[in-house]
Amino acid sequence: MKKTSLILAVLATGIIITTFSCKKKTETIVEEKIVYQTPPPGPPTLYTRLGGINPITLVVDKFINNCATNSFIGSRFSSTAADPNRLQVFRYNLIDQVCEGSGGPCKYKGKTMLQAHTGMNITGAEFDTLVVQLVKAMNTYSVPTQEQNDLAAILLPMKTDIVGH
Ligand code: HEM
């Protein structure tokens, strides 16, 4: 009888502890609320129309791959592609650049386009080939024409800082 009481007491304590800790866990989860930001007034930014950071990342990754495997400009990116750390920095810089340029919440921390490309003597034909790789990447993910044109309008003016330096 005494033994049974002891077993019951142990079981009861276990149940109380389990209930208590379960309750605590539940309360913690309830406290972790997602805070949704109020969208800015006015028409949606290009960033929003592109679908935000995930679609931008997909397009940038495809774009880098297209460039690195292109027969005309691929050799320009061979050192970058061969070094995983360098490739990752380049990738993040491009993502930030597109994200910030399209009105998103990122901050580009890389070099200016003039600094980044000086000494490379990039030709107009190479620049145009790179743009084709971007268009191909956007087509891969069915980016609509309007958004393609809007992104091109942000990047194309950089040509003067990239070509011939
Ligand atoms: C609108 C066109 C272009 C944009 C937006 C662009 C953007 C960038 C950015 C953001 C960087 C990284 C800067 C940094 O490291 O701080 C970079 C580096 C570089 N770009 Fe461009 N670029 C363009 C055109 C080109 C072209 C036409 C070529 C050659 C065909 C080229 C070749 C390179 C190379 C080789 C690097 C160095 C990558 C590394 O750090 O390993 N870029 N570019």
Question: To the nearest whole percent, how much of the chain has pLDDT over 90?
Answer: 75
What's residue 10's pLDDT?
54
- For 104, list phi and psi in degrees, rounded to 5: -85, 180
Q: Maximum CA pair distance of the chain?
A: 95
What's residue 19's pLDDT?
46
Degrees, nearest 5: CA angle 122-127-57:
115
Cα separation values, 35 from 26, 31, 32, 39, 107, Å: 19, 11, 9, 12, 21
pLDDT band for 5, please (50, 70, 90 cuts).
low
Q: Cβ neighbours of residue 112 under 8 Å, at least 6 residues apart?
A: 161
Which residue has the least CA distance to atom 6 on ligand 1? 113
Q: Which residue from 115, 140, 2, 129 is spatially nearest to 58, judged by alpha carbons?
A: 140
pLDDT (mean) for 132-146 = 98
Which residue has the least CA distance to atom 21 on ligand 1? 117
108 pLDDT higher than 90: yes
What's residue 31's pLDDT?
67
The count of residues in the chain is 165
* 16-43 tens-digit pLDDT: 444 444 455 565 556 677 777 777 788 9
- Say how many Å lie between the CA of residue 129 and the centre of ligand 1: 13
Q: Which residue from 70, 73, 55 is spatially nearest to 124, judged by alpha carbons?
A: 73
Which one-letter DSSP state was computed for residue 118?
Answer: T
- Say how many Å lie between the CA of residue 77 and the centre of ligand 1: 9
What's residue 139's pLDDT?
98
Element (H, E) at 27: helix 2-31
User: Is the CB of 116 inside a 6 Å radius of any atom of ligand 1?
Assistant: yes
The more confident residue out of 19 and 162 is 162
What's residue 35's pLDDT?
77
* 70-94 tens-digit pLDDT: 999 999 999 999 999 999 999 999 9
Paired tokens of 69 = 């495997």
CA-156 nearest atom, ligand 1: 1
pLDDT (mean) for 52-78 = 98
User: Is the CB of 158 inside a 6 Å radius of any atom of ligand 1?
Assistant: yes
What's residue 39's pLDDT?
72
